[in-house]
A and B are shown apart, each in its own frame.
Chain A
Amino acid sequence: MDEEELNKKLENIDLPEIELPDYIGNLRMALLESEYANNKRDASIFTKVPNWIKRYVYIAADSLTPKRLNWKLALVSTLAIALVISMSVFIPPLVNQTPGNESLVKVDDWRLGNKTLSSNGTTITGGGSTVTSGGTAVTSTVGSQPPPTVKLPQPTVVVPGISPDPIGLSVGGANDINNFRENIANDYLPLPTDMTYEGLFYDYYFDTGQTEECDELFCPSYSYAVTNDPFSGETEYYLSVGLNSGIKESEFQRKKLNLVIVLDVSSSMSGSFGEYYYDQFGEKVELSEEDQGMAKIEVAKQSIVAMLDHLDDEDRLGIVLFNRDAYLAKPINLVGETDMEAIGEHILDIEVKGNTNLYSGMVMATDLFEDLRDVDQSEYENRIIFITDAMPNTGETEQGSFLSKLEQSAENHLYSTFIGIGVDFNSELIEHITKTRGANYYSVHAPAQFKERMDDEFEYMVTPLVFDLQLTLEAEGWEIEKVYGSPEANEATGELMKVNTLFPSKMEGGETKGGLILLKLKKITEDSNLKLKASYEDRNGNQKSIESTVVFNNEEPEFFANSGIRKGVLLARYADLIKNWLIDEYEHAHFSYPWEPRVNNEDGIIVPSAMLGEWERQSLPLYVSPPYKELFRQFSEYFQNEVEAIGDETLTQGLEILEILLTTNNQD
């Protein structure tokens, strides 16, 4: 049966029309005579009156009963009621007329004339300030910090009494491998760093192997697998760490946000997108003609406007633009007191020019938080969102400088998100610097796609929950060989795994998006016991730890405790193979002599080298050397079998990539 047939069948199916008049009548009667109905019968405006007022009313009524006639008490209570009513009638208008409330008039505090962004950074209108190249002379102006206004809660539809799905956790760092997919789709050779393990894992939902109810912020669960390498047949051992949380979606509420958006307005942002991209389900999405020709800056601007929708009145927003220099476009002020519509229009008017001095934007944005250092950390979250193609070419360009700047900010509870724009987004730089505590990054390929993602994930994106997770392995017989699914994987030693940050993550059907970290273990002796101690810090700085024991029973390959770890192993092998291929292709791109691929039938899928070298983002054409074509063909068969065994069809997007690579016509 094909798609069309099924569609027709479902549309034309004869649906049951069952009449149950007696049932409907009985239920109606039961409802209207229920306990709730009787309570509602008494319901009046009185039910909304605070208890202390009710108490006076009861006293007054009680005092006036014939048995306990007490005129003095009745008089006092009645006067109290009258006073309360008078206050409620007259005081609100007075409050509204206080001088403090004049600020209810919303202010357009945009400071730049957009078309005056000069490539030499000197011509700024509207009182904006600049940071010169190198970021040494910062003269930013922070907006006044008026007292917070009282904000009514946002309207929500509550479905009370129904326990909603819990939420899980996932690691920081990359939140997709969109850039990898888009490079393949546009016939470019991706960078090895375009394929991140955590980004790949975040594209999928995992059974975390959780068997017990979780009442804590974080409850790790452990599962293991014994499986053979698909090429060498060598037996491998894996342990998965399931990232579970006891938080319910309904209980989740992000803190108020002090947010500075830093937008790259350099010339490279005027480049356009490709013709299509791959969505999170691996489906090829054709971009409209309008979107195809759209410059990166247009996508970036629309992405910012999409994010503004998620800010509340009590959040604060500031905006910095940078090219060769940094410009304060909007001081950091309360959203409730800002004319956000006007700000949105200013953003859409921005034009690009000049070199890229990412560091200067970083310095100015960090400086905007100077006056907010004393805000209550338990109430406010501080975050800078960088929107850039990440190709700094002037000012400070060393990875180390960016990293130390971000680390320094993170120590002061100021965290970063990077949103990468464009097919030539430099993932290598961003992958490196978002290993910082509280950091994460996304890549954007179409405004509509990004808007949808923000609708789903903005609240989670800005809310780190668990910090400095350390997993210590106490086991005579085992050591950690490699960690998959965490940006800090390279920091792991034989006995210790570190993860800087865990963010909340969506759950569907009991599975968590990106809710798994995978450890490849090396068997040293026959001692099969593993003692694991997970320690972490919560968002209030409290240290916690949990100890567990895992025993590898004498299972033979292929053994997987659940589909989650099986999916993790498949994806880890897939990513390793792809990374090895990319390293080989880049390393041999300029050499004509014969070479051997890193992956072979003797060694199997080896862990890719960490020494990736320094690359500029090059637009090398997509190329698959003959040895890798054969490896991909063999791996596709293994992949197909695993997809069937796991039963998750979203995995076929990996197969589709392999299919593209197998059919690539190399241009020698």
Chain B
Amino acid sequence: MYYWRKIILDQERILVERAKNDKEAFAELYDKYCSQILGYVIKRTANIEVAQDVTSQVFFKAYKNIGQFQWRGVPFSSWLYKIASNEITNHFRERKRRRQYLENNYDSEVTPNPSPESELAQAQEDLQKYEEFLSVHENISKLSFKYQEVITLRYFEHKQLKDIGVILGKNEGTVKSLLYRGLKKLRILME
């Protein structure tokens, strides 16, 4: 198992190195991870429009800055998750300031809503069918971002504590504590 993981990581490392100078290689990484990151952002925000906006930002930032990415033996997706987590936090914390910033800086690259109206409407309709998820999400969204992150990554993305630590830049013990405290708070909210 270890060797398979190593081989896969080696292949990804080569692809990431190529992607620093080769847009087709970046396109391969995009194809591999876009749905995953979009799915994560939807589960964090429960809003298709916001998720599209945030996911666009994630990949533009990743593309722009991949040259500075240093390989440390963890999957490239952890980096994308990390950018996504930060973007979601930025989105909610600094909505106003960020919009202004985007207007000034990213107009040329970002298409705020690149999804056709019909697809967006259908997706929003589909999302409403997941009533239980939306009800739990409503309570999770009342928690601090640090708790939202760990709970979503653990239960909705099914990540191991160690991987969550890598994504959030925290050690495993801290993640465990955050998860414990987050769930305790969530339990109170759900009662």
Residues of A within 8 A of B (CB): 1-3, 6-7, 9-11, 13-24, 26-28, 30-32, 34-37, 40-41, 43-44, 155-164, 279-281, 283, 448, 452, 455-456, 508-509, 649-650
Q: Is the pair B82, A157 in contact by a Cβ cutoff of 8 Å?
A: yes
Known: A281-B181, A452-B173; 15 extra A-B contacts, CB below 8 A, are A16-B133, A18-B38, A20-B48, A23-B115, A24-B34, A27-B52, A27-B55, A32-B26, A36-B60, A40-B26, A43-B20, A155-B72, A156-B72, A159-B82, A281-B180
Of all chain B residues, which has the CB nearest A10? B155
Q: Is the pair A14, B190 in contact by a Cβ cutoff of 8 Å?
A: no
Main secondary structure of the interface of B (DSSP, over half): helix
Q: Which residues of B contact A509 (CB under 8 A)?
A: 144-146
Q: Which residues of A contact B31 (CB under 8 A)?
A: 28
B111 CB–A CB distance under 8 Å: yes
Cα distance, A456 to B144, chains bound together (Å): 21
Q: Which residues of A contact B35 (CB under 8 A)?
A: 24
Cα distance, A462 to B124, chains bound together (Å): 52
Cα distance, A268 to B60, chains bound together (Å): 60
Q: Which residues of A contact B71 (CB under 8 A)?
A: 155
Q: Which residues of A contact B87 (CB under 8 A)?
A: 162
Q: How many residues of chain B get a CB closer than 8 Å to chain A's CBs?
A: 71
Return the 10 tightest CB-CB contacts between A and B, nearest first. A26-B114, A23-B115, A10-B155, A160-B65, A43-B21, A155-B70, A452-B173, A162-B86, A16-B130, A34-B109
Q: Which residues of A contact B70 (CB under 8 A)?
A: 155-158
Q: How far is the CB of B31 from chain A (nearest CB, A)?
A: 8
Cα distance, A20 to B122, chains bound together (Å): 9
Of all chain B residues, which has the CB nearest A156? B70
Q: Which residues of B contact A649 (CB under 8 A)?
A: 181, 184-185
The residues in B between 123 and 169 inclusive whose CB is less than 8 angstroms from any CB of A are 123, 126-127, 130, 132-133, 136, 144-146, 151, 155-156
Q: Which residues of B contact A159 (CB under 8 A)?
A: 61, 65, 79, 82-83, 86
Residues of B within 8 A of A (CB): 20-23, 26-27, 30-31, 34-35, 38-39, 42-43, 48, 52, 55-56, 59-61, 63-65, 68-72, 74, 79, 82-83, 86-87, 90, 108-111, 114-116, 119-120, 123, 126-127, 130, 132-133, 136, 144-146, 151, 155-156, 171, 173-174, 177, 180-181, 183-187, 190-191
Of all chain A residues, which has the CB nearest B23? A37
- The 24 sampled A-B contact pairs (Cβ below 8 Å) are A2-B187, A3-B187, A6-B187, A7-B183, A16-B39, A17-B39, A23-B120, A24-B35, A24-B38, A27-B111, A28-B27, A28-B30, A32-B26, A40-B23, A158-B68, A160-B61, A160-B64, A160-B65, A161-B61, A280-B177, A508-B146, A509-B144, A649-B181, A650-B181
Cα distance, A650 to B185, chains bound together (Å): 11
Q: Which residues of A contact B27 (CB under 8 A)?
A: 28, 31-32
Q: Is the pair B48, A13 in contact by a Cβ cutoff of 8 Å?
A: no
Cα distance, A32 to B63, chains bound together (Å): 9
Q: Which residues of B contact A11 (CB under 8 A)?
A: 155
Cα distance, A42 to B118, chains bound together (Å): 38
Cα distance, A3 to B182, chains bound together (Å): 12
Q: Is the pair B68, A18 in contact by a Cβ cutoff of 8 Å?
A: no
Q: Known interface pairs A20-B119, A155-B71, A161-B65. Does A27 touch B185 (Cβ–Cβ under 8 Å)?
A: no
Of the candidates A30, A36, A508, the one whose C-beta lies within 8 Å of that of B64 is: A36
Cα distance, A34 to B60, chains bound together (Å): 9
Of all chain B residues, which has the CB nearest A7? B183
Q: Is the pair B111, A30 in contact by a Cβ cutoff of 8 Å?
A: yes
Of the candidates A3, A6, A16, A43, the one whose C-beta lies within 8 Å of that of B42 is: A16
Q: How far is the CB of B124 from chain A (nearest CB, A)?
A: 9
Interface centre among A20, A26, A279, A456 (most CB of B within 10 A): A20
Cα distance, A508 to B156, chains bound together (Å): 23
Q: How far is the CB of A136 from chain B (nearest CB, A)?
A: 45
Cα distance, A23 to B190, chains bound together (Å): 34
Q: How far is the CB of A43 from chain B (nearest CB, A)?
A: 4
Q: Known interface pairs A17-B39, A20-B119, A162-B83. Does A27 touch B109 (Cβ–Cβ under 8 Å)?
A: no
Q: How far is the CB of B99 from chain A (nearest CB, A)?
A: 16
Q: Is the pair A31, B21 in contact by a Cβ cutoff of 8 Å?
A: no
Of the candidates B26, B79, B130, the one whose C-beta lies within 8 Å of that of A157 is: B79
Q: Which residues of B contact A650 (CB under 8 A)?
A: 181
Of all chain B residues, which has the CB nearest A280? B177
Q: How far is the CB of B22 from chain A (nearest CB, A)?
A: 7
Q: Is the pair B59, A31 in contact by a Cβ cutoff of 8 Å?
A: yes
Q: How far is the CB of A46 from chain B (nearest CB, A)?
A: 11
Cα distance, A162 to B183, chains bound together (Å): 28
Of the candidates A10, A161, A283, the one whose C-beta lies within 8 Å of that of B136 is: A10
Cα distance, A508 to B182, chains bound together (Å): 14
Q: Which residues of B contact A24 (CB under 8 A)?
A: 34-35, 38
Cα distance, A164 to B85, chains bound together (Å): 12
Of the candidates B115, B155, B156, B191, the one whose C-beta lies within 8 Å of that of A22 is: B115
Cα distance, A160 to B61, chains bound together (Å): 8
Of all chain B residues, which has the CB nearest A161? B61
Q: Is the pair A13, B133 in contact by a Cβ cutoff of 8 Å?
A: yes
Q: Which residues of A contact B155 (CB under 8 A)?
A: 10-11, 13
Q: Which residues of B contact A31 (CB under 8 A)?
A: 26-27, 30, 59-60, 63
Q: Which residues of B contact A22 (CB under 8 A)?
A: 114-116, 119
Interface centre among A18, A448, A649 (most CB of B within 10 A): A18
Q: Which residues of B contact A455 (CB under 8 A)?
A: 171
Of all chain B residues, which has the CB nearest A154? B70
Of the candidates A16, A23, A41, the one whose C-beta lies within 8 Å of that of B23 is: A41
Cα distance, A159 to B20, chains bound together (Å): 15
Q: Is the pair A16, B43 in contact by a Cβ cutoff of 8 Å?
A: yes
Q: Known interface pairs A158-B65, A159-B86. Does A13 touch B119 (Cβ–Cβ under 8 Å)?
A: no
Cα distance, A15 to B134, chains bound together (Å): 9
Q: Is the pair B90, A36 in contact by a Cβ cutoff of 8 Å?
A: no
Q: Which residues of B contact A10 (CB under 8 A)?
A: 136, 151, 155
Q: Which residues of A contact B151 (CB under 8 A)?
A: 10
Of all chain A residues, which has the CB nearest B171? A455
Of the candidates B21, B171, B183, the one whose C-beta lies within 8 Å of that of A452 is: B171
Q: Is the pair B126, A16 in contact by a Cβ cutoff of 8 Å?
A: yes
Q: Which residues of A contact B171 (CB under 8 A)?
A: 452, 455-456
Q: Is the pair A6, B183 in contact by a Cβ cutoff of 8 Å?
A: yes
Cα distance, A156 to B65, chains bound together (Å): 13
Q: Which residues of A contact B184 (CB under 8 A)?
A: 649
Q: How far is the CB of B55 from chain A (nearest CB, A)?
A: 7
Q: Which residues of B contact A34 (CB under 8 A)?
A: 60, 63, 108-109
Q: How far is the CB of A608 from chain B (nearest CB, A)?
A: 31
Q: Which residues of A contact B30 (CB under 8 A)?
A: 28, 31
Cα distance, A1 to B190, chains bound together (Å): 8
Q: How far is the CB of A81 from chain B (nearest CB, A)?
A: 21
